[in-house]
Structures are given as C-alpha cells and as structure tokens.
Chain A
C-alpha cells in the first residue's frame, strides 16, 4: 500500500471572514476540484473582480453549463444556474433579456469549459457573439473533458493524448480568440491562471463593458490532461505558462493558436465599441412604439 497523506483539518477561526466570502456559498466549500486544478484560481479571480467592482451579490447572476467548470455556479452566492451541457449561453440569453425588463442593470456572467462552450455548445457561442448579447463569458480552456475522465475535445492540441485519443489527437484545434473575434465579440482577451492580476482585470473590463465579452482562461487540468501530456502537476503547468506565454495586447487573433512547447500569445485581442442587441432593440421600440420595452 502506498502512503496517502491525510488532509489537514481546516482550522475555522470564529468571526474572522475573508473579504470576498459573501460571494461564495461557504457551506458548499471545499469544492470538488482536484489539487493543482486551475478552476479554483479562476473562481478566486472572478470573486476578486466582483469585489473590486463592488458588485452587489444580488446584482449579478452566474450561469454555467456542464463539466468541471460548470460546477462553479454552485459555489458562488449570487443567483446561479447550472444548466444542461452546452446550453449555458442560450439560457443566459433568455435570462439577460428578461432581466432587462424585470431588473435593468443586472449583470449576467457565464462561466463554463471548452467542451461545453465549443463542442456541444459551439453554435450557441458564435450566434451569441454575432447577436452581441450583453453577457460576460469566462471560459476555462484546459484542453480536455476533465469531468468525464480526460477525453479529447475541440481545443485539444494536435498530437496531445487523451482517453479517446490514445495515439494522440488527429484533429486541428480551435483558435478561440480568433473564433470569438470573427464572430463579432467586441471584447476578446486571453490569460492563464498564472496571470491572476491581469485575469482579474480582464474580468472586470468584461463585466463593465456592454455587449458580448469573452475571456479565455488557460488553466491546468493535471489529473486528466497534464498527466498524459508531460505536465503532471499544476506547478509544471504554471512553469509552462511562465516560459511560453507571451504578453502582447491587440495582437492579430489569427496568431493566437496554441501549439504545445511553443510560445503562445496572451493579452487583450479586441476591445471595441459596438451597440449590443438590447440597446438596438430598445432604441427601435422607443422610437417607434408608445410602450417602451422597459
């Protein structure tokens, strides 16, 4: 038998609260994510972004799809919706549109993974970006399906291994900043879970900006992806980001592809002003009909 280290008991100090605690369902923590996983970091950045923007818990909703990333909705205190696989964006679209009538100004954040948003939900992504619906989409790219055990997906680099690609991936992966930009998203950025401050800042920019905003978060999945692809711990993955991530703002999204072992671009790719769906709809209604849509 191998020796398994027992986890230390958490020490709960009474009446001492984390400054961001109110954004979490503390009663549901600790989360289910593996040690070394990037999802916890991404969630912390999101809470920090909420905190820095002084966003009231009741003025934001979080929508997730299915997968490891999809579990985030269940850990955050705002009204949160854990929907079906791939359908986070159309659900969030309906939610956001309804809130325009019931509670204008309420923010809707979508947080999900690569398989959810770009495989089963791929069409919804390009359509939501095209429509320029006012949603902030934070999406974790860990290059595989973690929850179901390390199968390859639309972001898996060519040659990388997964349980459904035991000989290596035969397909080309998506370049997602390029896809988002060409689908019309007015804000597109990419950071890794090593760049926590920049990631938080990008999340803040995305939340504040009206329209369909998109932040790709490159994150480790040591359990299912890293282990099979030469990055067996979260730390190995961090080293990879430190060595290969090149910060460059407003680079051509075409150049944003990720090839293992080679440098890849992180930064803001797109930040432009463009009227969003609701703005156009409301303006037309206000100009033409007696009843405003609000």
Chain B
C-alpha cells in the first residue's frame, strides 16, 4: 500500500525543486519529505548539519526537535516518538552509533519503525572525527546483541541521501523495523545538485490495526509476518516489552516462545529480502571483472572503470544500494561468469567477506581496502582490475 497523501502533512513542507545541497542537509530534507516530524539527536561530527537542519526546519512545519543528553537518549526518544504515533529519526556518527546499539536492539525486538543515520567517520574510538570511513558496516549488521536481521542503505551522493532516507522511512514502516542509512563523511559534506519532486515521493503509511481492540494481537504477524501497530492512546492497550513475548506482547520466556518470535522477526526480513534488496548494475554482461562496491567508494571505482575500459578491459560494476540484507543471490550469479570480483571499500575488509561468501569459490575475490581518512586513488583500483583481468 503506497500512499501519496499523509494526514496532517502538507506538500508545501517539502523542499521542492532543484537545489545545491550537501548530503547531510539532503538527508534531513528527505526525512521531512517522508513525513518525519520528530527528531532527537546529539551533536557529533560529521552529521551535525542533519541535526541543525532538523532544529531549524521542524518547528516551522509542526514538528518537534529534541536535543537529547546523549545518543542513548536520542534513540530512546525516537522509539518513544514512534510509539507516540510519529515518524521519527536520529542521526549520528561512529562513537554515537556505538551507544545506539543498545536501543537499536529494543527497536528490533519491539518492531518499532524509525530511521537511524550513521554518517561514518574514521575509527575505532574518536578516530578521525572529520574524515571519512566505511568502518561501521559490520557494526551496522551485528552491533546490537542477539540474533537479528537489519536493513541498511548506502548512499553515494546527496541526491541519494535524500532518496534513500525516504526509502528508509518507507521500509521501516513496511517491515516495522529500525532502518539504517549508512552514509559517510564525504557524502555527508559534498555539495551537489538535488532534485526534489513532491509528486514523485511515495509514502508507506503506518500499518494500523484492522480489527477492534478485543480481537487485536499486537505481535501476531500478518501474511508477510509483519504485525499491525497500535500506538499510544489509540485504545488498543498494548504492552510493549524488550523481553521475549507472545502474540499478545506479554513476556513469555520459554524456549518455544523465543523460537517462534525469532523465526518471525528474522523471517519477515529474510523471506521478503527481494522486496528490500536493491543493486545497480553497470556493464555486467560480458565483463571479465566486476567491481562490487557501495557508497562513496563506488564513485572512485567509477573512475577506475573508465581507466580500465580505456585499456580495453571489460569491467562492470555491481553497486549495493542496500548493503543489508546482503544481495547474496545477485553476487553469486555474477561470480560464475567472471574472472574475479574486486571490492573497493573504505575499511580493511568488511563487506569483502560477504562477497567471498557469496562467490563461494567460483572466482577469486580481491579487496581494495583503505584505512579511511580519505578516498581510494582510482589507480589503486585500476591496478587490481589489471591483475585480476590478466
């Protein structure tokens, strides 16, 4: 169910038109366009422009901006806001993302729709506060404790910061799960043209209960395993807990209950992965070498591709728009047809592990890593292409 109209939301609140924006501002505008009217955050570089834009914009359009005491509180307020019936978001970077891991788990367990943006910077710890990295990709996947699935986008431009933030909100409502936007410092701070057409923006509305209170089971999945959501004060008297719970939402700490809940929580993402996974293919057919990459690293890889083509090498690119769930099938299919896969990423080997797993020995997989703080040099990616193509 896709809706173009949302109650209480006016199209004039959207920053329509053609603009020259940095990625962080585009992300904030994407959230507003998606219907986000509650933002809770804490200052941290390099995402501060998201928080500042929200602080400026939200009070003017009937929204609420909360500067919380830390990132633990920011994400907690976002979850509370979602249960209060609003679309809510927070944005952070490495150190703050670490603090958010606790309540990311609560969001997954209680099936709370919301969006968390991580504008990645170099780590570990304080690392490189003002410089880029893609070092949080595995933390995004497994950072919160316990078994779970996650949805994460990897924007490569300010335009994608806008578009993917909208998508992240829609998927969070569709699957009732926190959704991550894994940006980085360069995408956050680069300024480019961003085109915003309110008529083309599609909004997935909250899944409201379709049955009366007496019949409503707040944690019973529908045909797609996703339950309907009754927010505070709507008369459904829901109990929401981070404990393992039954379909009524009541704590049930039995092996059977855990088994049932975990299969549904994980199943709703795994079994619907085709509706989540998005990749962009370029020159894949007939390619000898394929670059599997994502986010800002893909833009440097594009230049390496051009250089390789000039040298007569047939090279393609599979760009991951959603990094999680990992596009296993898409990578596996390509791995059988090429001499090798090359994974440029701004870390010393994270997503390359997934690519290796997907390739399953069909072809060599080669990492072109970078410790962060800057971008790859296209020549480094080019020499990897030349070696693999040989």
Contacts and interface: CB of A to CB of B under 8 A. Distances in A.
Interface of A: 25, 28, 57-59, 61, 63, 73-74, 77-84, 86-87, 89-103, 106, 123-124, 127, 281, 284-285, 289, 291-294
B83 interface: yes
A102 B86 contact: yes
B242 A99 contact: no
A90 B76 contact: yes
Interface stretch (B43-51, B56-64, B185-193, B308-316): B56-64
A102 B76 contact: no
B64 A90 contact: no
B233 A291 contact: no
B232 A94 contact: no
Given A61-B232, A80-B239, A90-B76, A98 B62 contact: no
B109 to A, nearest CB: 10
B233 to A, nearest CB: 4
Contacts of B235: 58
30 contacts: A58-B235, A61-B233, A82-B239, A86-B72, A87-B73, A87-B102, A90-B73, A90-B74, A90-B76, A91-B77, A91-B80, A94-B77, A94-B79, A94-B82, A94-B88, A97-B64, A98-B64, A98-B81, A98-B85, A98-B86, A100-B64, A101-B37, A101-B86, A102-B86, A103-B233, A124-B72, A127-B68, A291-B10, A291-B62, A293-B59
Nearest to B64: A97
A293 to B, nearest CB: 5
A84 B84 contact: no
B154 interface: no
B265 interface: no
Nearest to A75: B239
Interface range on chain B (Cβ under 8 Å from partner): 35 or more
A182 B284 CA distance: 65
Given A73-B239, A289-B59, 15 more contacts: A28-B250, A82-B240, A82-B251, A84-B106, A90-B40, A92-B80, A94-B81, A97-B66, A97-B81, A98-B38, A98-B82, A99-B85, A102-B232, A123-B70, A291-B10
Given A74-B251, A98-B64, A103-B233, A79 B79 contact: no
Contacts of A87: 72-73, 76, 102-103, 106
Interface of B: 8, 10, 37-38, 40, 59-64, 66, 68-70, 72-74, 76-86, 88, 102-103, 105-106, 230-243, 250-251
Given A91-B80, A99-B232, A294-B62, A58 B237 contact: yes
Contacts of B83: 79, 81, 94-95, 98
A93 B39 CA distance: 12
Nearest to A25: B239
A57 B238 CA distance: 11
B40 A94 contact: yes
* From B10, B78, B79, B239, residue with most partner A Cβ within 10 Å: B239
A62 B87 CA distance: 21
Contacts of B241: 73-74, 81-82
Contact of B64 (A61, A92, A292, A293): A293
Contacts of B40: 90, 93-94
A98 B237 contact: no
A91 B231 CA distance: 14
A116 B102 CA distance: 15
Nearest to A98: B84
Nearest to A97: B64
Main secondary structure of the interface of A (DSSP, over half): helix
A79 B88 contact: no
Contacts, number: 171
A186 to B, nearest CB: 19
B77 to A, nearest CB: 3
A99 B38 CA distance: 11
B63 A293 contact: yes
A275 B103 CA distance: 30
A183 B44 CA distance: 25
A106 B232 contact: yes
A159 B231 CA distance: 46
A58 B76 CA distance: 22
* From B61, B69, B235, B251, residue with most partner A Cβ within 10 Å: B69
A293 B40 CA distance: 16
Contacts of B38: 94, 97-98
Given A97-B66, A99-B85, A285-B59, A91 B233 contact: no
Nearest to A125: B69
Contacts of B242: 82-84
A28 B86 CA distance: 29
A102 B72 contact: no
A94 B250 contact: no
A25 to B, nearest CB: 7
Given A97-B84, A289-B60, A90 B232 contact: no
Contacts of B230: 79
Nearest to A99: B84
A289 B8 CA distance: 16
B294 to A, nearest CB: 31
Given A100-B64, A103-B233, A124-B69, A79 B238 contact: yes
Contact of B76 (A91, A97, A100, A284): A91
A96 B88 CA distance: 13
B131 to A, nearest CB: 29
Contacts of A292: 62
A164 to B, nearest CB: 22
A79 to B, nearest CB: 5
Given A84-B102, A293-B59, A58 B77 contact: no
Contact of A58 (B78, B233, B243): B233
B103 A84 contact: yes
A77 B105 CA distance: 25
A25 B249 CA distance: 12
B35 to A, nearest CB: 12
